[in-house]
Amino acid sequence: MSTFIKDFIEREKVSRRNFLLASAYGISGAAALKMFGPSPVQAATHDDPAIAWSYRNRTNPYWNEIVSGGEAFVESLGKSKDALVHLINEGSSEKSLADVKALMAKESGKVALAIDTNDAPNCRPVVEAVAAAGGYVSTIWNKTDDLHPWDFGDNYVSHMTWSDEKPAEQTARILLDAIGGKGGVVHLGGIASNNPAIERLQGLKNALKDYPDVELLDAQPADWDTQKANQIMSSFITRYGDEISGVHCANDTIGYGVLEALRAEGMDIPIVTYDGNPQAVDLVREGRILATVFTNPHWGGGVTASLAYHAATGAFKPSEEPNEHREFYGPTIMVTPQDAADFKAKYLENVPTYDWKDFWGPSNGQIQYK
Amino acid sequence: MNNWLTRDNLIRWAPLLVLLALICLFALIEPRFFSVRNAARIAIASTPALMVAIGVTFIIIMGSIDLSMEGTVSVCAVIFAFAFIALGGTLASFAWLALPLALLVGAAVGLLNGLIHVRFKIPSFMCSLAIGFVGTGFALLLTGGDRVRVEDELFRSLLTIRFLNFPIMVYVALACLVLAWFIQSHTKLGRNFYAIGGGEELATSSGLNVGRVRALAFMLAGMFYAIGALLAVGRIGIAETATGNNFMFVSITAVVVGGTALWGGIGGVWNTLVGVLIVNVINNGMVVIGLPNFVQDAVLGILVITAVVLSTNRKTVAFVK
Q: Which of A61, A220, A264 faces B147 most closely, judged by CB atoms?
A: A61
Does residue B264 lie in a domain region?
no
B167/A264 Cβ within 8 A = yes
Does residue B273 lie in a domain region?
no
Reading phi first (left if > 0) and then psi (alpha if -120 to 50, else beta), residue B237 is in: left
**Would you call A334 exposed, middle or buried from its count of C-beta atoms within 10 A (0-12, 13-18, 19+)?**
middle
8 Å CB contact between B180 and B228: no
Q: For residue A332, which phi and psi values (nearest 5 degrees)?
A: -135, 135
Q: CATH no. for residue A186? A: 3.40.50.2300
Q: For residue A296, which phi and psi values (nearest 5 degrees)?
A: 50, 60
Using CA atoms, how far apart are residues A74 and A300, in angstroms rounded to an integer? 14
Shared domain for A118 and A73, answered yes or no, is yes
Average pLDDT value for residue range B165-184: 96
B235/A59 Cβ within 8 A = no
pLDDT, tens digit, 9 for 90 and up, residues A40-59: 445 688 889 999 999 988 87
- Mean of the per-residue pLDDT values of chain B: 90
Per-residue model confidence (pLDDT) at position A37: 41
**How many residue pairs bridge chain A and chain B with CB atoms within 8 Å of each other?**
92
8 Å CB contact between A118 and A89: yes
B236/A256 Cβ within 8 A = yes
B33/A234 Cβ within 8 A = no
Range of the domain at A181: 165-294
Of all residues in chain B, the one with the smallest CA distance to A192 is B293
In Å, how far is B289's CA from the nearest CA of chain A? 7
To which H or E segment does residue B75 belong? helix B69-86
Average pLDDT value for residue range B144-158: 88
pLDDT, tens digit, 9 for 90 and up, residues B226-249: 999 999 999 999 999 989 988 998
8 Å CB contact between A292 and A281: yes
Does residue A341 lie in a domain region?
no
Which residues have CB under 8 Å from A200's CB, separation 6+?
A: A164, A165, A168, A189, A190, A250, A251, A274
Using CA atoms, how far apart are residues A259 and B299, in angstroms rounded to an integer? 28
Other Cβ atoms closer than 10 A to A254:
31
8 Å CB contact between A257 and A271: no
Q: Which of A28, A20, A26, A32 is nearest to A146 (CA)?
A: A20
Per-residue model confidence (pLDDT) at position B270: 95
* A61 interface with B at CB cutoff 8 Å: yes
Using CA atoms, how far apart are residues A189 and A221, in angstroms rounded to an integer? 4
A292-294 vs A333-335, strand pairing mode? antiparallel
Shared domain for A260 and A286, answered yes or no, is yes
Shared domain for A219 and A202, answered yes or no, is yes
Does residue B262 lie in a domain region?
no
Does residue A273 lie in a domain region?
yes
Kindly state the DSSP code that residue A349 receives in the 8-state scheme. Answer: I
* A232 interface with B at CB cutoff 8 Å: yes
Using CA atoms, how far apart are residues B71 and B243, in angstroms rounded to an integer? 9
b/e B233-256 (16+ beta carbons within 10 angstroms → b): bbbbbbbbbbbbbebbebbbbbbb
Per-residue model confidence (pLDDT) at position A41: 47
pLDDT at B67 over 90: yes
Shared domain for A123 and A267, answered yes or no, is no
Which residues have CB under 8 Å from A198's CB, separation 6+?
A: A192
**What SS3 class is residue A157?**
strand
Using CA atoms, how far apart are residues A53 and A141, in angstroms rounded to an integer? 14
pLDDT, tens digit, 9 for 90 and up, residues A11-22: 666 566 666 565
* A234 interface with B at CB cutoff 8 Å: yes
Which residues have CB under 8 Å from A249's CB, separation 6+?
A: A187, A188, A222, A229, A255, A258, A271, A272, A273, A274
Using CA atoms, how far apart are residues B285 and A345, in angstroms rounded to an integer? 44
Shared domain for A155 and A199, answered yes or no, is no
A238/B41 Cβ within 8 A = yes
Q: Which of B155, B2, B30 is nearest to B93 (CA)?
A: B155
Please state the domain count of chain A. 2
A64/B44 Cβ within 8 A = no
Give the confidence band of B265 by pLDDT, cuts at 50, 70, 90: confident
A257/B245 Cβ within 8 A = no
Using CA atoms, how far apart are residues A130 and A110, in angstroms rounded to an integer? 10
Q: For residue A42, which phi and psi values (nearest 5 degrees)?
A: -90, 145
Shared domain for A235 and A196, answered yes or no, is yes
Of all residues in chain B, the one with the smallest CA distance to A231 is B45
Shared domain for A76 and A155, answered yes or no, is yes
Does residue B309 lie in a domain region?
no
Q: For residue B250, which phi and psi values (nearest 5 degrees)?
A: -65, -45
Range of the domain at B207: 35-245
Shared domain for A107 and A80, answered yes or no, is yes
**Would you call B175 exposed, middle or buried from its count of C-beta atoms within 10 A (0-12, 13-18, 19+)?**
exposed
Per-residue model confidence (pLDDT) at position A3: 63
Does residue B2 lie in a domain region?
no
pLDDT at B312 over 70: no
**What SS3 class is residue A217?**
strand
Shared domain for A125 and A174, answered yes or no, is no
Per-residue model confidence (pLDDT) at position B316: 63
Other Cβ atoms closer than 10 A to A134:
19
A230/B284 Cβ within 8 A = no
Give the best residue of A231, A233, A253, A258 to mutate against chain B (max B CB count within 10 A): A231
**Would you call A216 exposed, middle or buried from its count of C-beta atoms within 10 A (0-12, 13-18, 19+)?**
middle
8 Å CB contact between B59 and B218: yes
Shared domain for A132 and A181, answered yes or no, is no
Lowest mean pLDDT among A153-157, B43-47, B200-204: B200-204
Please state the domain count of chain B. 1
Which residues have CB under 8 Å from A172's CB, separation 6+?
A: A203, A204, A206, A207, A208, A248, A272
In Å, how far is A328's CA from the nearest CA of chain B? 28
Which residues have CB under 8 Å from B238's CB, separation 6+?
A: A226, A256, B147, B148, B149, B150
Does residue A244 lie in a domain region?
yes
Q: Name every chain A residue with its beta carbon within 8 A of the beta carbon of B246.
A: 225, 227-228
Complex confidence, ipTM = 0.84
To which H or E segment does residue A294 belong? strand A292-294
Low-confidence ranges of chain A (pLDDT < 50): 1, 33-41
Shared domain for A227 and A276, answered yes or no, is yes
Give the confidence band of B146 by pLDDT, cuts at 50, 70, 90: confident
Shared domain for A224 and A289, answered yes or no, is yes
pLDDT at B264 over 80: yes
Using CA atoms, how far apart are residues A353 and A90, in angstroms rounded to an integer? 30
pLDDT, tens digit, 9 for 90 and up, residues A170-204: 999 999 999 999 999 999 999 887 778 999 999 99
